[in-house]
């Protein structure tokens, strides 16, 4: 299924690697340009209500049972689970994610808690709508 032309030594995770690498690169773009107008504006569309995004939240699906990966986190002394993450780093077939808290209204709160997952354990990635997340 995945193309053999990839940036990793492991063909099993190359299609996910390419997708996640693109997401990480998009998230690293300088958002200071969001206030630019006129010919210097680096995007199409109107500027009065421009919202700058810095995160493309994702969910990950388990390759063995097709269920969402759910990761525990602790906030204010309370343990909870999240299925929404922010890609932070990609090293071969290992993806490091920041755990996001779903606020239930289409917004997310970033935690300072991370996990690393082997992409060979992931069958699918679902991208959620781009958003702004205040990164601590």
How far, in Å, are 73, 101, 111 from residue 76 at the CA level?
A: 10, 13, 11
Which ranges of 7-91 does DSSP label H, i.e. alpha helix?
A: 14-27
Give pLDDT tens digits for 72-120: 999 999 999 999 999 999 998 999 999 999 999 989 999 999 999 999 9
Question: CA gyration radius for the chain?
Answer: 17
d(CA 130, CA 132): 7
Model pTM score: 0.80
Q: What is the pLDDT of residue 7?
A: 43
The conformational region for residue 106 under phi > 0 = left, psi -120 to 50 = alpha, else beta, is left
Give pLDDT tens digits for 29-63: 766 666 666 565 555 555 555 567 889 999 999 99
Instruction: Tell me the three state secondary structure of residue 21.
Output: helix
Specify the higher pLDDT residue, 12 or 45: 12
Domain boundaries, the chain: 11-127
């Amino acid at each position: 299924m995945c193309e053999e032309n990839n940036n990793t030594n492991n063909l099993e995770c190359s299609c996910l690697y390419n997708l996640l690498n693109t997401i990480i690169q998009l998230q690293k773009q300088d958002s200071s340009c969001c206030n630019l107008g006129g010919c210097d504006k680096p995007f199409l569309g109107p500027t009065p209500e421009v919202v700058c995004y810095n995160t493309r939240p994702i969910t990950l699906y388990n390759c063995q049972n097709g269920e969402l990966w759910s990761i525990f986190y602790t906030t204010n002394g309370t343990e909870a689970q999240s299925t929404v993450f922010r890609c932070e780093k990609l090293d071969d077939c290992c993806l490091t994610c920041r755990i996001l808290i779903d606020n239930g209204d289409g917004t997310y709160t970033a935690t300072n808690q991370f996990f690393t997952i082997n992409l060979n354990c992931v069958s699918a990635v679902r991208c959620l709508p781009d958003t702004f997340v205040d990164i601590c």
